[in-house]
A and B are shown apart, each in its own frame.
Chain A
Amino acid sequence: MRDSRAAWIFVAPALGAIAAFLFVPVLASLALSFTDFDLYAVADLGNLRAIGAGNYEALLGDPLFWRALRNTFFFAFLGGPLSVAVSLGAALLVNARLVRARGTFRTLLFLPVVTTLVAVAVVWRYLYHPRVGLVNGVLGWLGVAPVDWLGDPRWALPALVVMSVWKGFGANMVIFVAGLQSIPARLYEAASLDGAGAWQQLRHVTLPQLAPTAFFVALLTMIGSLQLFAEPYVMTQGGPSNATLSVVLLMFQEGFRYWNMGYAAAIAFVLFAILLAGTALQLRLRGRSAA
């Protein structure tokens, strides 16, 4: 079995790293969430006590946590579908047969995806400036009164949604383009023989054929959105009056600013449970659409 020994040498570095820096920390995090690990325990582990489900009980009674959870869900459930709609529209446009220089348009629309999130969040912070920002400038031409996007608790979170759709739709667009290109041409030929126009072909051929891709993209985007962090950290620090506080931002503040690591670990695990549920839903829907 010299084959087998060599194989272990090939996989050992990867498995070792994943075990040491992913498995162990995740299990330790679960354990941590049942302790009162805080600044005193950072200094001396002797101060560490097991407190059972104490952190989880405290979470349930913490209005800040509920606020963060509500904000995060709002961000994911508004941003996910919006991103799917925008990226589908963009994919249909760049993939249209009549368009010249499709590759160039695709590249340009894709560009925000590769940019550094923190850098573009800084840019958008200024774009949203109430007095001199470009967003209010453009809306002003259209006769819309200036809005204090990041300073108004009603608008701050929707403003982050718009920015993040801008940042991410290109990735979904290329997945849709791949989906569009895999639709068999004979379906369109058959439809056009039956006298279907462009609009009917879109409704009765393209959209049904893309439905599995759309599910996949929507859930992927939502799962990514649940991990919202850099946008509020850079653009609003979770404000105004916690209107953009996200679950991961709350975890970061509790864990690495106040060193309430037990409490922060409990927050992390609630997020994990939500992500797991989201993924399970995705797998079920995919299973059903494949059947």
Chain B
Amino acid sequence: MTRALRVAALHAVLVAAAALTLAPLVWMLAASFAPAGGADDLVASFARRGATLAHYRTLFGQLDLARTLANSAGLAAAATAIAVSVNGMAGYAFAKLRFAGRDRIFRGLLATLVIPGQIGMLPLFLLLKELGLVNTYAGVLVPSLASVFGIFLVRQYALSIPQSLLDAARVDGAGELRIFAQVVLPLLRPILVTLAIFTFLGTWNDFLWPLVILTDDRLYTLPVALANLLGEHVQDVELMMAGAVVTVAPVVLLFAALQRQYVRGIVTTGLRE
């Protein structure tokens, strides 16, 4: 085979693979603009009846999806702010500050990475019930306050901060908090961005815990609302696809903007969320 032929074949395979991968998402997007019943045969439907925004109008009008969207965005943003500060400080301390038992505690934390969140879910629910946090935003956020994954990610990165930089600041009489805010934070910025994307996407996409802890549909996040909507509107394919687009589009756009940082997180840890 000549080189040109090989290049062409390689690209043909890649284009086919990309088309296959994107087909479900493209179909979702197209079906969301089709008139009711049009998803059965999209091409014929668009040719005869054109496109419509009716399903998005129904979602944001009658079904109050704007509220759900705001719930998801607010919760994901809050979880991100909390996780970045809590794990950022802890990760830095485990890398660069000295305290009794530091390495033992860190190894202990790493061991807990094997514990999936579902294991403690039942007692956590009962605990939050006692605290009156069932069916509250705070209840949704509780499991994402701190994560071993986040601490690990930041620590590995913080190890590379030169000790001399910190010592110089101490000699100048700066307190530890000021050193953290003025010297360390700017250096940690790239990894904190990675952690922020992971936390935001993880919270946005999370399903099981919000499903357990939220009972009032006014507090639902998008995935819970979508699963719930399916119960009543399973026949309304086009409406469901519009709901799926509203749920998926924000995270896809966020990823498109910050993909380099996101991929770095996966490659360093092998974890997704």
Contact = CB atoms under 8 A, between A and B. Distances in A.
Contacts of A174: 263, 266-267
Contact of A3 (B98, B122, B223): B98
Interface in A41-63: 42
| Most chain B beta-carbon contacts within 10 A, residue among A29, A112, A116 | A116
A26 B121 CA distance: 8
26 contacts: A7-B97, A7-B102, A10-B92, A11-B90, A13-B89, A15-B105, A21-B124, A25-B119, A25-B121, A26-B119, A29-B119, A42-B126, A94-B14, A98-B10, A107-B256, A109-B18, A112-B24, A116-B244, A117-B207, A118-B207, A132-B40, A178-B267, A252-B208, A268-B118, A268-B122, A275-B116
A221 B271 CA distance: 10
A230 B226 CA distance: 12
The 10 closest A-B pairs by CB, nearest first: A25-B120, A6-B176, A28-B123, A14-B90, A10-B93, A7-B97, A118-B223, A17-B146, A17-B145, A7-B99
A168 B270 CA distance: 12
Interface string B137-148: 000001101101
A50 to B, nearest CB: 15
Given A32-B123, A116-B204, A99 B10 contact: yes
A110 B263 contact: yes
B235 to A, nearest CB: 11
A11 to B, nearest CB: 5
Contacts, number: 257
B226 A105 contact: no
A96 B10 CA distance: 9
Contacts of B14: 93-94, 99, 105
Contacts of B102: 7
Contacts of B92: 10
Contact of A114 (B100, B115, B255): B255
Contacts of A42: 126
A256 B134 CA distance: 13
Contacts of B87: 14
Contacts of A120: 24-25, 28, 244, 248
Contacts of B207: 117-118, 229-230, 233
Contact of A166 (B21, B125, B254, B259): B21
A276 B151 contact: no
B60 to A, nearest CB: 17
B146 to A, nearest CB: 4
A73 interface: no
Contacts of A119: 222-223, 226, 243-244, 247-248
Contacts of A125: 230
A151 to B, nearest CB: 13
Nearest to A107: B259
A94 B102 CA distance: 42
A269 B27 CA distance: 40
B24 A124 contact: yes
Interface in B199-227: 201, 204-205, 207-208, 212, 222-224, 226-227
B111 to A, nearest CB: 10
B157 to A, nearest CB: 15
A14 B151 contact: yes
Nearest to B21: A109
A132 B41 contact: yes
A116 B270 contact: no
A222 to B, nearest CB: 13
A200 interface: no
